[in-house]
Amino acid sequence: MKESSYKNYDELPLFLNVATVAKVLGVSPSSGYELMHEPDFPVLKIGSRMVVPKEQFVEWVSQHTQGGAE
């Protein structure tokens, strides 16, 4: 697994692109891209570009972490 260079959520930009999502989660860019196409993933589409609002990403991670409320 790849190690993220981010140490906490405060370091993240307001909107995350696919490369940042993959980097934070420690997965490949292609896995990040696939994740961003999942129906429950909080993606904001701007034209053909997809970004994820930081607050919704943090909430999604919390909900999909073992022991989180689903």
Please check the confidence at residue 37 and state whether its pLDDT lies above 80.
yes
Domain ranges, ordered by start, for the chain:
9-63
Residue 59 tokens read as 């909430």
Fold designation for 9-63: Arc Repressor Mutant, subunit A (1.10.10)
Please check the confidence at residue 4 and state whether its pLDDT lies above 90.
no
Give the other-Cβ count within 10 Å of 70's Cβ: 6
Pick the residue with more confidence: 18 or 4?
A: 18
Residue 33 tokens read as 């891209």
pLDDT at residue number 5: 74
Tell me how far apart the alpha carbons of residues 31 and 65 are, in angstroms, rounded to a whole number: 17
Q: What angle do CA 5, 66, 2 make, to 5 degrees?
A: 25
- DSSP β-bridge partners for residue 52: 16
